[in-house]
Every structure is written in C-alpha cells, then in structure tokens.
Amino acid sequence: MGAVAYAPKVVTIWEGFKAWFAQQGFAFDYILYSNYEAQVEAQFDGTLDLAWNSPLAWVRADRMARSRGQSAQAVAMRNTDCNLRSVIVVRADSPIQSEADLRGLTLGVGAIDSPQATLLPLHHLQQTGLKAGEDFSVRRFDVLCGKHGDHIGGERDAARALMAGEVEASCMIDGNHLAFGLDGTLPAGATRIIARTELYDHCNFTASPGASQSAIDRFVELLMAMKWDDPQVRPLLELEGLKKWKPGRTEFYPALAAAVDEQGFYGPDGSILRADYRY
Amino acid sequence: MNRASTARTEASFVPTIDIEALGLDEGGLLLVRRALAALPVGQCLQVRGASPDWDLHLTAWCRQQGHDIETHTLESGRLEARVTRGPWAEGRWLGALQTGQSRLAAGDLPAETADPAWGLAMRGATVEAGGPSIGFGLSRRDELWAATAGDLYRQAAAAQWDPETAIDWKAPFDLPPAIEAAVAQVMTYLIENENAALVVPARHLGQVHPQYREVQQVLALQCADEARHIEVFTRRLGLKGAAPMLSTAGGQASLHSLMLAPDFSTATFLLSVLGEGSFITLLTFLSDHAPDPVTRQICRLAARDEARHVAFGMAHLEYRLSVQPDYQTRLQNAVEQRHDELADTAGLNEEVFDALVVLAAGDLTASALAKGHAAVHQLKLDMAAGRRARLLRLGFAPAEAQRLADLHTRNFM
C-alpha cells in the first residue's frame, strides 16, 4: 500500500496497522511517498496494490485508469471522509456579505493542490460567476505542495492572513473553521462565513487496476473489523482521525473533478497540466 | 447572555438543548457534550441555536465524533439539529484500568505493585486502556513504602522556610580571620555533603511510580530542603568575602559510595538513617558552637529538615523489614562493604577536623583548643550513639548495632 508522508505520525499509523494486520495473519506492507503524484503513478507500474489517496489523487487515479481502459476502485474510507464542506470566511466587520462582493478583492487560499482550501472553493465561486484571476485575485499559501492540502499549514496561514488584513477573505474546511476558533487562530466571533460549498468526500483507499481482488477484499474485510473499542487499534484510529471505516463511495467527487478541469490541474488522462505546480 | 437550558418537549419527548447565541467555538460545545453524555447511545438530542453558522460547526463536530446529525428549518425560520449519540465515547472506556484509591485511610496501603500501564495517572483515576506503558524502576510497594510517608510529607510542606526571611543575614558580627576561615572550611564540607544528599534521593525520585504519591512527595521536598541548605551554606560562606576551601578525595569517595548503593532501601539506609542521622548531631553541634549568629541559625534550621529525612528513612526501613525481615542482612552487608571500600581512604579530612576544633574552641589558645578537641571527640561519640540507637530501633541486636555504628564512614555522611 502507498501512503503519503505528510507528517511524522504517518509512520506510527502504518507501523501500527501493519502489526495489527500481521496479527490477523494478513501480509501487509507500505511504502511512503513524499507526494501523491508519485504515489498514483506507482499504482500503474505494478508497485502498489492500493493507495491511501487524497480526493485529488483519487480523481487522478480514476482518470489515468479510464484513459488506459482500466478501472480504479475506491474500496474504503473513514467515517470522517464523508459529507465535508468548505467555507469562505471574512472578518466579522467586513462589508462583504456574499460571493459577489469579492469582485476586485483578494482571496486567501491554501496550497495549489488543496481540494478543500483551494480547488473546491474556487470552483464554488466560478459557479456563482466569479473567475479567479479575472474577477478577484488569489493569494495562495503553498505549504508542502504535492501533499494535496493534507498539511493544515496552508489553511492556517490563509486564516492568519485574513486576521492580519492581508486578504479580504479566506478558504478552509468547515471543521477547521471550528478548530481555528477553538485554538484562537480565528478568535470566536471575529469572522463570518459568507459561503459554503456543496458537500464533498475526502480520502479513500484506491485499489490499483489489476490488484488481486481477493487480497483487496481481505484488506477491506479486516479494515471493517477494526473496532474503536479495541485499545490496540483505537490510538491508531485517533491518529488517522476516524471512528470507523466505511465502504468506499465515489458519488461525492464530481465537484472536485469539475474544479480540476476548470482550473486546468489535470488533463482527462490524469496528466499534470499546471506549470506552476511544484511537488 | 441568557442561561442555556435543557428541556423535554411534551410532544416528542426528545431532549432538547438551546445554546441560544453561544457559538460552538466559544463554549457551546461544552453544553452539547454534557447534554449528549446524559443520553444513552442511539438516543436523539435536539439542538437549537442562534449564533451564526452554529449548524455548520455542529455538523463538522458530529462528523469528527461519530454522531449522526440532521438539520432542518422550523416554521419560525430557526434552525434545529437532531443529533443521534454515537457509541464511541463508551468504547474508549471498555477495559479501562483501575488504579486504587486516592486517599489512604490509616492502615490502608497503596497497590502492592504498580502497573506500568497506569502511566502518570493519579492514584484513583480510571485509565483508558492502550495508553503508553511507562517504566518506573520503583514500582513495588515493599521497595519504597513508609507507613508515615503522608504525615511526613505534610510536616515537610508546613515546615518549608524562606532563606531570605528565616535567616537574619544582616546580624552584626566580625570574626578573627582564623575563625572565619574555619567557618569557610566547614561550609565547603557541608555543601559537598548536601550535594550528595540532594543527588541521591533525586536519582530515585524519578523512578518512583506515581502510585506511591506520598513517597514521591517526601523525596521531592527532601530535594527542595537540600537545595535550600546548599543555598544558605553557600551564602554564609561568602558573607564576609571568604572563598570556598578544600575538598578531599577521601571525602568524595565516601559520598560517591552513597550514589553506588544497589537499591533505594540501601541508599536510604546509608544516606538517611546513618549519614543524615549523624549530620543532625553535627548540625546541632554547630548551632551550639558556631561563632556567629548566622551560622547558628542556618545550622539549627538545617538540622530540623534533616530530622525529617531521618524519620522517613527510618519509617521506610521499618516497613521494609516488617515485610522482609531477612533484608536486615543486606543492610549489614552494605555497611560492611562500604567500610571495606573506604578503608584505604583518609576519611574526614584534617582541615575539616581542625576547623571543627577551632569553632568549638573559639580561639587558638592552648586551653581553648583542648576544650574544642574534647568537644569534637564528644561529637563523634554522640554520632555513634545516635547511629546505634537507630539500628536498635530497626531490630538489630545490641552488639551488632554497636559494631555497625562504629563501621560507619569517618566522613560522617
């Protein structure tokens, strides 16, 4: 399995899961990647049977598979990957009331490859008739590119820039708006939400085309058997940020796929189009 | 802001909480968490709110916590959320570990052995399973417990003194250079002994499992006491401009052997019962014979602290011997071994001995020195008698108590 090393805890998580899988008699190992692009490519050269993919990596894997006449499968996800929303936030005393008021102003976003803090909010604005770079300016907070926004740093930097008056509005995932309020990054009551995106899903385990179906089935079966009540597994689930694993679903990724096309991030075959994307 | 309220609506019997205008990021979550905690798993809680975007925050929080949530708009236009309590909060406490009782009534004992999985939790806490296993070297009751540890800690906490105000540093005195030099030499000696008395319990303190809280607390204050003694002796040494004096190899060898004691009980026996026990006699001698009021005050206060250290050492050894009588042989061996190791060293250095004689004499005349010499001789007899009395209390036979008392290091500590 491939996983992206966006933080040191990734080693703890997968070493723990590896030991747990071994106890269940399942031979499992993982390879860490520094970025999702290399990981997705490794799903097509026989290196990986499956990958723990960001939503953007899923979109790319799906496109690469289809363009080859193959199929990638989203086989499992966290309960916390379902039904997310991003928000566009302004300072509480700002005259901005709705998306249209952003015309001519500067919006702070996360990393270039962050689905939640860049791609999806810009897609939302485009749907309301506002095109980034034409109708408003974008200030990007690129932290750890290639990690598809898994690192919260870009969102936090954008939030701080909002409070510092460097941008007129900032984008973040709904849970981070709450978290930034609780940790003081955005003092309670100091900001106002002017827009919410439609619901979308986050990460999934993506089975590589050609992976052994029986091995994938066993992997998923064992994932579903992981219980929060089990003190050996619970700390790992907490680190990974879930209460239970759920079967994979793909019906909440189209908005991101549309954003990818609008913003010219990947081509229909999964090729990387953005010249300013460094990972 | 009005007080948030929980109510049961007659129509549906669904518990309802209204967090009004309180934001979830400014305390509203606390009300939701408390209301949910009062419900069984699977039951619904209706939440109403009026702060901007409270529903968005509640939805994000429920996703993270594994509670199902649905939101809908009431006829009044207000938003309402229906949260179904998930099972995760309970799951965390399945198989949780119990760690005994926090307060020990008279005669109660802490656990016989402390589980490393209890970690740093306070005694009496319920500990979630799956936490880190923290290895403490001293995790068996018999190896460290003292029945009076709790009382001794309370006494020690009440008896802490502030060097700044407890000592009259400005008391007027002026000593002849030879007497002031003798004070400086004695202070130099006392401080290296206090360094040992700080380092030895400090090395054990970090190994004591928090289950044995009272012992941990006693040792912590013992270290604080020694730190204060080091301060006041250092300050007295420099009070009139004197520089630190001599430290001998023999003296340090004697103190080093305390650091090499094989376990906590033996270290406590050698340091507290025998060493600090002898030091009470020495400090009392100095508070009687010192030539100036400052030295007399600091020695009197330090002796009081040392008496508590001895009391803890005695209480621990009494407990250990009560549950393991044959441990007495180990103590006997420790005294003999230390004596043999130090046999070739000089013991108390001449400079310190002479300085004590000078202090007891008061001046350098022959008649005064004879008196001083006799006083120091008596001091050594008193120290040995004190050691013998403590050994008798620990159950050593009289002849053995005398023999071991006499084998104690000539360096006093």
Give the start-to-end residue ranges of the domains of chain A: 2-81+202-262, 86-196
Q: Rounded distance, CA A57 to CA A44, Å?
A: 13
**Cβ pair B60:A175 closer than 8 A:** yes
pLDDT given for residue B4 in this prediction: 44
Contact B91 A82 (CB under 8 A): no
B312 close contact with A: CB closer than 8 A: no
Evaluate if residue B9 carries a pLDDT over 60: no
Could you report the per-residue pLDDT of A194-207, keeping only the tens digit for each?
999 999 999 999 99
Identify the CATH homologous superfamily for domain B5-90. Answer: TusA-like domain (3.30.110.40)
Residues 6+ apart with CB under 8 A from A192: A89, A90, A91, A92, A94, B52
Interface test with B, best of A243, A244, A245, A252 (most B CBs within 10 A): A243
Count of CB pairs separated by less than 8 Å, A with B:
74
Say what the pLDDT of residue B348 is. 74
**Do the Cβ atoms of B53 and A79 come within 8 Å?**
no
What is the CATH number that goes with domain A86-196?
Answer: 3.40.190.10
What was the pLDDT predicted at A255? 98
Residue bearing the bigger pLDDT, B345 or A242: A242
pLDDT tens digits for range B100-122: 999 999 889 999 999 999 999 99
Rounded percentage of chain B residues whose pLDDT exceeds 70? 97
3-state secondary structure of B280: helix
Residue spans of the domains in chain B: they are 5-90, 93-135, 141-407
Residue B5 in this model has a pLDDT that exceeds 90:
no
| Pick from A157, A161, A85, A162: nearest CA to A124 | A85
Q: Which of A97, A213, A88, A265 is nearest to A162 (CA)?
A: A88
Question: If we measure between CA atoms, which residue out of A175, A173, A58, A60 comes closest to residue A111?
Answer: A173
Q: Using a pLDDT cut of 90, give the percent of chain B over it.
A: 85
pLDDT at residue number B6 = 45
> Is some CB atom of chain B closer than 8 A to the CB atom of A228?
yes
**Cβ atoms within 10 A of the Cβ of A178, count?**
25
pLDDT at residue B8 is higher than 80: no
Query: Which band of pLDDT confidence, cut at 50, 70 and 90, is reported for residue A192?
Result: very high
Asked whether the beta carbons of residue B25 and residue A178 sit closer than 8 angstroms, the reply is yes
CB contact under 8 A, B66 and A243: yes
Same CATH fold, A86-196 and A2-81+202-262?
yes
Give the HSE-up count for residue B250: Cα atoms under 13 Å, Cβ half-sphere: 16
Q: 3-state class of B79 per DSSP?
A: strand
Q: Does B165 touch chain A (CB under 8 A)?
A: no
The tens digit of pLDDT for each residue in A80-134 reads 999 999 999 999 999 999 999 999 999 999 999 999 999 999 999 999 999 999 9
ipTM: 0.88
Q: How many helices (H) and strands (E) does chain B have?
A: 15, 7
pLDDT at residue B230, rounded to an integer: 98
- Quickly state the pLDDT bin for B12 (edges 50, 70, 90): low
Whether A97 and chain B come into contact, CB under 8 Å, resolves to no
Mean pLDDT of B171-200: 97
Q: Which CATH number is correct for A2-81+202-262, 2.40.30.10, 1.20.810.10, 1.10.287.40, 3.40.190.10?
A: 3.40.190.10
Strands A31-33 and A50-53, sheet pairing? unpaired
Q: What is the mean pLDDT of residues A135-154?
A: 92
Q: Average pLDDT of chain B?
A: 93
**Pairing, β B5-8 against β B15-18:** antiparallel
Is the four-CA dihedral B384, B385, B390, B393 of positive or negative sign?
positive
Please tell me the CATH code under which domain B141-407 is placed.
1.10.620.20
A212 near B CB under 8 A: no
Shared fold status for B5-90 and B141-407: no
* The two structure tokens encoding residue B394: 């620990």
Predicted confidence band of residue A151 (pLDDT cuts 50, 70, 90): confident
CB burial string A201-237: b at 16+ within 10 A, e below? bbbbbbbbbebeeeebebbbebbeebebbbbebbbbb
Q: Which residues contact A22 (CB under 8 A, 6 or more apart)?
A: A28
What is the structure's pLDDT at B346?
67
Q: Does B293 touch chain A (CB under 8 A)?
A: no
In tens, the pLDDT along B335-392 reads: 999 998 888 776 677 889 999 999 999 999 999 999 999 999 999 999 999 999 999 9
